[in-house]
Amino acid sequence: MKIIHAKDYADMSRKAANIISAQVILKPDCVLGLATGTTPIGAYHQLIDWYKKGDVDFSQVKTYNLDEYRGLTHEDPQSYHYFMNKEFFSGINIDLANTHVPDGANPDAEAACKAYDKMVADAGYPDLQLLGIGRNGHIGFNEPADAFSKGTHCVDLTESTIEANSRLFEKEEDVPRQAYTMGVQTIMNARMILMVANGKNKAQAVHDMCFGPVAPSCPASILQLHANCVVVADDEALSLCEGQY
């Protein structure tokens, strides 16, 4: 696991965008695994700026998002499909037919998850998987549990995750209680993993991810076992890791 220290959120976003753009430049038809939430927005906006300057071309890229709320259609303004179009895809030259998000509108959880697993496997898994980390150490929507998950599955969201995500909704009661998410094993199949983290509220999770025991009580800790994992985090997120890297 390689840790890259960023000064602040803007610096973290630029450094992460540099790594993503390098992947696209080196392999124009690469497969990107993408994440939602507020942490990666800065990196997405930086990539849009570089695309507009002609520095990076997304026309051949394929993307697979980590997760989607169960019960939301692609057109729902609170869906992750809508989020990705708004914050990233609408600003670059990606073919929307090459962008993929789990089908939250499918009420058959088993069928929806199995179909998404097959799509990701058929694509050969991501060349680069972008991740954020939850305050409880979750990646995707893989919450702390007794065992690491495998393929895409339906999860019940914890109260801390619901509370953290409520900032994107009008009120906390509007946050869906379930989601479809790639499993830990699927995430680990990516050839490179890029974790981004910022803020004091992520400091304990970042420490446990990088230096704690590898245990499903902190799902992100499994990344210690990945052959090519890069963590880009700011001063505050790394505040409990001083002297350890």
Question: Does the residue 185 lie in any domain?
Answer: yes
Q: Are 1 and 226 in contact (CB under 8 A)?
A: yes
In a domain, 20, yes or no: yes
Flag whether 38 is in a domain. Answer: yes
Q: Is residue 243 part of a domain?
A: no
**Percentage of the chain exceeding pLDDT 90:** 85
Q: Which DSSP state fits 7? A: S
Q: What CATH code is carried by the domain that includes residue 161?
A: 3.40.50.1360
pLDDT at 197: 98
Label residues 8-42 b or e (16+ Cβ within 10 Å = b): ebebbbebbbbbbbebbeeeeebbbbbbbbebbbb
Q: Residue 203 carries which side chain, given as an amino acid letter?
A: A
Query: What pLDDT score does 69 carry?
Result: 92
CB of 162 closer than 8 Å to CB of 226? no
pTM value? 0.93
The boundaries of the domain holding residue 195 are 2-234
Average pLDDT rounded to a whole number, residues 71-94 = 94
**What does the pLDDT look like over 107-126, one tens digit per residue?**
999 999 999 999 999 999 99
The pLDDT tens digits of the residues spanning 128-139 come to 999 999 999 999
Task: Tell me which residue of 131, 115, 118 sits closest to 32, measured CA to CA.
Answer: 131
The strands making up 2-6's β-sheet, listed across from edge to edge, are 2-6, 229-234, 193-197, 128-131, 31-34, 62-65, 99-100
Position 172 in a domain = yes
Q: Which two tokens stand for residue 114?
A: 């199995």
Res. 165: pLDDT tops 80: no
| pLDDT of 194 over the 80 cut | yes
Catalytic residues: 67, 136, 138, 143
- Domain annotation covers residue 244: no
245 assigned to some structural domain = no
Structural domain tally of the chain?
1
Residue 143 in any domain: the answer is yes
Residue labelled with tokens 């946050």 = 175
Mean pLDDT for the chain? 95
Beta strands in 12-133 (DSSP E): 31-34, 62-65, 67-69, 99-100, 128-131
